[in-house]
Amino acid sequence: MANPSKAQVMQPPMRSKHRFSASRALACSISAMVIAWGFGCKAPADYRTEADDVATRILDEAWPQVTGHEESFTILPAEQTLRRRLLLEQRLPTATPASAGSADDRRIEQWPDKDYIESRSPGFMLQSEASLEQQPLRITLNEALQVAAYNSRNYQSQKEGVYQTALRLDLQRDAFRNTWAGVVDSVVSSSLGANSETNGVSNSGSLEVSRQFENGMRFTSMIAVDLVNLLNGSREGSTGLTLDTSLEIPLLRGSSKFVVTEPLTQAERDVVYAIYDFERFKRTFAVQIASSYLSVLQQQDRVENAVENYERVVASTRRARRLADAGRLPEIQVDQSIQDELRARNSWISAQQSYERALDSFKLTLGLPTDAVIELDPREFDLLLNEPRFERYLRSQSEGEQETVPPADAPVVLEPPSNVDAGPFELDETDAILISLINRLDLRVAVGEIVDAQRGVAIAADNLRADVTLLGRASLGESRSLNSATQDDAQLRTDRGFYSLLLGIDLPLERTSERNSYRNALIAYEQTIRALQDAEDSVKFDVRSTLRDLLEARESIKIQAESVRVAQRRVDSTNLFLQAGRAEIRDLLEAQNDLNSAQDALTNAVVNYRIGELELQRDLGVLVVRSDGLWTEFDAESVDLDAVRKTIEANRPGLLSEVDA
């Protein structure tokens, strides 16, 4: 066998496992790009759907626990709205297609979510599907409540606020989940020197996972892989592999679950508060819709009264003209009648314009175009006036029924309003206050904020303590670069790792900021106490004021109904006296004006009483409003007042023990 040559002896053995080809390096680069693209190819629509699912799941779980009933909650715009239908069918002018809704908006070319417009809720459609082009759309009160729930911009903004609160809770929960991060780099480099040239490709990828635990401990672990290859010379390559793990454990400040999870706790409570606020808003908004609806009908009734008064005054002027021509009436009284006719015409025009303004304002509240041709159903007003509790005041006294009038010198006895004919919502004041303290959702929020402030004090006190942190770290393996491409592949060996353990102590020598924060937390706590006191007193004030308004409106109905009857008798009798020459035209004009004023005052009293009933249910927190805007009114007879009193007494044991002592 021949002896090896000197060149053969001096040449090291080839390490085929380290010899990479250029094609393999290119393949690694392409693979890295494919991996990066694969992780980033999730469509924006998928992220939107994922966010909707998370927020919906949070609210679906929280709503029954908070309110005792489920809520069909969505922030998706309606597929078809009454606003859009009015704009299209009545051919109303618009500044941009977006006036009809986001589905009609012109979107930019770079719009990322092509399926967004197709994600719509069914919405609410009126029962009448006839064309709105030739006739005004008549809306009942119940339909107005539903239209507002799907068209009102304020209503939609309130719903979106609840949704965003749920997303903030999800973000806080994410802080305690496993957090993954991946990075892939591919670099082709060339180093030009006087005597040598080095070309190579370096591919590196890392995968990191970290997690924050509720006890304050934080764990982080990262594994990294390097693939380096020389593209010239020996074309050798090497693989780097590293594992880096760290553990951080607080031992004093910030070490309790109570402190670490405070942002999560507050986010959970914020969802509860948001639900309370939205439920309160629904009740307030429904009462606002009903109040505005009845106010528009009331204004329409004033127009009708103004028309009737105008017609009466015109007829009186004509009669006065004939009597004056016959020499039976002075000319000055004819002029008085003409002046009253002009005033009546002005009142009629003013009432008509006030009605138009009230109707336009109501359209804005519903979220409808102000130039849309709609009208409210006058039968709602007729039903209100014909209700039994109002009808007994409005019907005329029986013929022959005479009131016994005492002598003029008899003592005057003032009779206070009686509760014999009180309505079903005119509750005892104490009982009404107890019901409101149990059911008012804004009061529950004020109570909850006291607990929030207490937690803030405890956390501020925790920040005054020393920082004692235990840090542990372990690092295995080796990284690779082009300079180390000729080395052997790296391995994860525990006997060649780097380990460290550190105990860090930050003594509380400087805590000026923390000291001030603690004192401010105590101040904030006292402020929440005062806020609760103010909220509680405001609830009592609202209930007492509404009960007074109900009593006043009920008495006003009785008074104004009698005033209408008296004014009508005056008009009839004055007409007869005028024809007989025993009265002046001024007497008739005054009687007609008083009749018109009494009719308006009666209508106002009836509307105020009905609105007062709704406002009392709102102030008691017992008006149930569904997601579609419809309500269920309160049944006062179904309330167990003894249970309410026991609940109230259970919430103030300290006060009771002090009184007992």
Decide if pLDDT at 18 tops 60: no
- Tokens for 274? 């948001």
Residue environment code for 624-657, b if the CB has 16+ CB neighbours within 10 A, otherwise e: bbbeebebeebebeebeeeebeeeeeeeeeeeee
Percentage of the residues of the chain whose pLDDT score is greater than 70: 88
Give me 230's structure tokens: 């020389």
Give residue 11's pLDDT: 43
Task: Provide the pLDDT for residue 139.
Answer: 92
Q: Give the position of tokens 């979510």.
A: 113
Give the start-end residues of each E strand in 272-390: 374-376
Domain membership of residue 586 (yes or no) is no
227 within a domain of the structure (yes/no):
yes
Poorest-pLDDT segment among 4-13, 176-185, 461-470, 560-569: 4-13
What string of DSSP letters covers 569-598?
Answer: HHHHHHHHHHHTTSS-HHHHHHHHHHHHHH
Average pLDDT of the chain to the nearest whole number: 85
Distance in angstroms (rounded) separating the CA atoms of residues 345 and 337: 12
Strand 218-230 versus strand 197-212 pairing type = antiparallel
317 residue type, one letter: T
pLDDT(482) > 70:
yes
Tell me the average pLDDT across 595-612: 91
Q: Where in the sequence is the domain holding 235, given as residue range(s)?
A: 179-212+217-253+467-506
pLDDT of the residue at 16 = 40
pLDDT at 236: 80
128 pLDDT higher than 60: no
Annotate 432-453 with b (16+ C-beta within 10 A) or e (fewer).
bbbbbbbbbbbbbbbebbeebb
Residue 120 pLDDT greater than 70, yes or no: yes
pLDDT band for position 469 (cuts 50, 70, 90): very high
What total of structural domains would you count in the chain?
1
621 domain residue, yes or no: no
Q: Which helix (H) or strand (E) holds 230?
A: strand 218-230
Q: 189 and 482 in contact (C-beta within 8 Å)?
A: yes
Helix or strand or coil: residue 19? Answer: strand
Residue 648, pLDDT score? 76
In a domain, 461, yes or no: no
Reduced to 3 DSSP states, what percent helix, strand and coil does the chain have, rounded to the nearest 5? 55, 15, 30
Q: pLDDT tens digits for 229-254?
A: 877 767 788 888 899 999 999 999 98
**Mean pLDDT of all residues in 553-564:** 90
423 vs 280, residue with greater confidence: 280
User: Does residue 661 have a pLDDT over 80?
Assistant: no
Residue 104 has pLDDT above 60, yes or no: yes
Question: Does some domain include residue 260?
Answer: no
pTM: 0.85
pLDDT higher than threshold 50 for residue 85 = yes
Structure tokens at 130: 């006839």
H or E, element range at 188: strand 179-192
Rounded Cα distance, 273 and 548, in Å: 31
Enter the DSSP assignment of 417.
P
Q: Classify residue 305: in a domain, yes or no.
A: no
Do the domain assignments include residue 655?
no
Q: Higher confidence at residue 106 or residue 656?
A: 106
What's the N-to-C CA distance of the chain in angstroms?
Answer: 117
Angstrom distances, CA of residue 283 to CA of 77, 286, 353, 623: 22, 5, 30, 6
Pairwise pLDDT comparison (121 vs 202), residue with the higher score? 202
Question: For residue 287, what pLDDT band results from cuts at 50, 70 and 90?
Answer: very high
% of the chain surpassing 90 pLDDT: 44
**In a domain? residue 491:** yes
pLDDT for 377 beyond 50? yes
Average pLDDT of the residues in 637-659: 68
Per-residue model confidence as pLDDT tens digits over 483-519: 777 788 878 888 888 989 999 998 988 899 999 999 9
